[in-house]
A = this chain, B = another copy of it.
Amino acid sequence: MTVSVTTNESKVDVLIVGAGPAGLMLATQLSKLKIDTRIVDKMAHPVLRGHADGLQCRTGEVFEALNVHREFDAETHECAEVIIWDPDQNGGIHETSRVVDTVPGMSRVRHVNLGQDRVEAIFIDAMKKANNLEVERLTSPTSFTVDETALDDNDAFPITVTLKKLPPPAEWANGDVKSGMYRSNLFTDESQTASNAVEADHSGEETVHCKYLVGCDGARSWVRKNLGLELKGDSANVYWGAFDAVVDSDLPTTRMKNVIHSKDAGTVLMVPREDGMVRVYTQMGELKPGERVDRAAVTIEKLMEKTQQVLKPYRIDFPYIDWYTCYEIGQRVCDTFSQYKDHILIAGDACHTHSPKAGQGMNVSMMDTFNLGWKLASVLRGQAKRDILHTYQLERQKTAHQLIEFDRKFSALFTGKAKTAERAGVSPEEMRKAWDDSIRFTSGTGVVYEPNMIVGKANPWLAKNITVGSHFENHQVVGAFNAHALQLQGRLLADGRWRIVIFPGDIRNKDNFAALKALGDALGSKSGPAPKYTPKGEDLDSVIQTLTVFATPHREVQYAAPTLPSILQPTKKPHGIKDFDCFMCDEPSYHSGEGKAYAGYGIDPAVGCVVVVRPDQHVSGVFAMDEAKEISDFFDSFMIAPSPKS
């Protein structure tokens, strides 16, 4: 008698564990770039309501770059002002100050709220549309092995992961989906992972060989633990309650963001959202190392009662509760985000955790994998050396440390008692200052990557206001051929392409015209980066796109265009027509005012400059108009030319 053994084995370039915001952002980017990808999640459903809901400015910019913003533009809720309340003389509270929520001018996109359920759904739609990629649910890894001899071989699949199909959710103690405890991190949900629960049972298993394994599996990350890594930081945790409810109150500012600091009842943060609802955060208590939350302490009744106490003498009732949760948080970071020569990576809550007050969790997690996605794609496509992957760890770990540092300070202000006439404590001024500072920091627009192989040195005299390593900021320009007001940053789509953004000044001046012509001729020559790194038969802008922003009125650019080197305005498939979208002008628009881009970037139109921008909109370097060779050298340092056969 013979036993037939079905070996369930397969290969995939990238295996993502965890389909929260971090995993879905990565999956969406990789599907748009047509990278062979799988994504698994142990849970039966995505988040259904509640959870994180703040989308910071920089996140909004990235959503636009990924072209997923239209879906949610209609749904987001924006909060214009933050009202800070402090104890008054009579044991009640009174408004002590108001601050704008998104500091004007910080970003062209504003800070908004949108439930994590909708954010996840938008990604799930986008990745399905882009490359038919879907989340494989009720699936969890049980083990992995690494072939350390194959880590430098680009064609090898050095990571082998065993995946297991989990029993349907009814059989789990999985929290109640509706109560909001579903996917809460209050409970040791290790019991829900196949690895612990059903170790001995090998049915429903599959062996997957992959080039890269990315753990986006949240604060209790299985991938992190199985790499032998841990989150380091504060040992004491606080636990927070959060709920979404329709609010009936005589507080005059329920449709604003309210930070309410009571004398003795603690602090409440209220954020207005869609359908007349408000998200309420209340800090519930502190936990000693090893201590677990008492489940009985986190009923919705407790959360409401706590809120009512803080708001006194104002009345607040909740005619409708949509969702509530409670979760514990400490400020912690993992020592490393990458192992096995960057073949196994972790991202999001798996490598850093912090409080919800500044609305960072979902944002920083998505920004981690936004940083990683295009790098993985460039390497897998054979366009870039594998070394660029290590910049993920370099760039994102520093950001995580800054965040944790900030959150520690900011949380202390929240937790600290309010200053009153009788006692010391957090004063309205301190609170206000912390909020002001936090708004700038938490927008995500402050992230600057330090010099590394894809972040070059700065030439601050060429573009005073462009910070190398930071994202390319927006200034409005005008389309040269259609005279439309355009947001320049919005043209830098996250489609995997690099960009050479040329600021030639006013080409009606002979010198500027000559400099642009010389630069164009050099960039367009055989050894120029776009011709060198573009596969045969593809449009010349498909790997590196050239954009030119003239300090010349659009009418003159229209008539001058035929005299400029063709690399600047390449012809495009399928009709062989010149691209009309790559020439822009710094001039007033008809309907949307004047962008003053040269002034905004600090570029002297008499001198001009060239800005090289990465696929994630971060600036790699600023070059002089006559530095075509230096630009080529930069790309040569990490890019790989297509083999002549292909």
Contact = CB atoms under 8 A, between A and B. Distances in A.
A575 B575 CA distance: 57
Nearest to A250: B562
A575 B247 CA distance: 9
Interface string A215-253: 000000000000000000000000000000011101011
A59 B110 CA distance: 29
Given A78-B484, A81-B590, A255-B481, 8 more contacts: A70-B74, A80-B483, A247-B577, A248-B575, A252-B561, A252-B562, A256-B481, A319-B577
Interface in A468-485: 479, 481-484
A100 interface: yes
A102 interface: yes
A247 B576 CA distance: 10
B319 A276 contact: no
17 contacts: A80-B482, A98-B555, A102-B591, A104-B590, A104-B591, A246-B577, A247-B577, A248-B576, A252-B559, A252-B562, A253-B558, A255-B479, A255-B481, A256-B482, A272-B482, A276-B580, A320-B575
B591 A483 contact: no
A276 B575 CA distance: 9
- Closest 9 A/B residue pairs (Cβ): A80-B483, A255-B481, A252-B558, A319-B575, A255-B482, A81-B483, A246-B575, A100-B590, A255-B580
Contacts of A254: 481, 580
B246 A319 contact: no
Size class of A's contact patch?
35 or more
A580 B253 CA distance: 10
A79 interface: yes
A291 B58 CA distance: 64
Given A484-B80, A558-B252, A577-B319, A110 B246 contact: no
A475 to B, nearest CB: 16
Given A319-B577, A482-B80, A110 B591 contact: yes
A98 to B, nearest CB: 7
A16 to B, nearest CB: 29
B104 A577 contact: no
A79 B229 CA distance: 57
Nearest to A100: B590
Interface in A251-275: 252-256, 272
Interface string A6-35: 000000000000000000000000000000
A70 B74 CA distance: 8
A583 to B, nearest CB: 11
A395 B16 CA distance: 63
Nearest to A79: B482
A481 B482 CA distance: 39
Contacts of A276: 575, 577, 580
Interface string A294-337: 00000000000000000000000001100000000000000000
